[in-house]
Amino acid sequence: MFNVTRQVNTFEKRLFWSLLFSCTLIVVSYVFLVNARTFALVEYKVVKDSIDERQALLAELEKEYNTLKNTLHKDRARALGFVEPTRKVFVTERQLVGLTLGGE
């Protein structure tokens, strides 16, 4: 009699342990995904702040560039002592190789 009862409950026991394992797996997966999402959001905020800082720096540099671009002209360059070359010299490949290797 006792053996018959054990055999009848075998299916229920397997079903119980299977459902328990499945529920545990689902809970662990959920915790893992929530944790991964939280860290991803924190990393996103850090990267976004870094991008915002760099964009602000870029805007400042662009503003400075535009200011300098509008104030520098050929007349001002000549007033500062820059001269335009009168003779144009072109470098050949042989001269360039000689200069890079230390020869003349």
CA atoms lying within 13 Å on the CB side of residue 68: 7
Centroid of chain to Cα 97: 39
What type of residue sits at position 4? Answer: V
Tokens 């119980």 found at: 16
CA–CA distance, 2 with 9 (Å, rounded to integer): 11
DSSP state of 80: T
pLDDT tens profile 6-26: 566 788 888 999 999 999 999
DSSP state of 15: H
pLDDT tens profile 59-92: 999 999 999 888 878 888 888 888 888 888 777 7
3-state secondary structure of 58: helix
CA–CA distance, 26 with 32 (Å, rounded to integer): 10
User: What are the start-end ranges of the E strands in 2-96?
Assistant: none
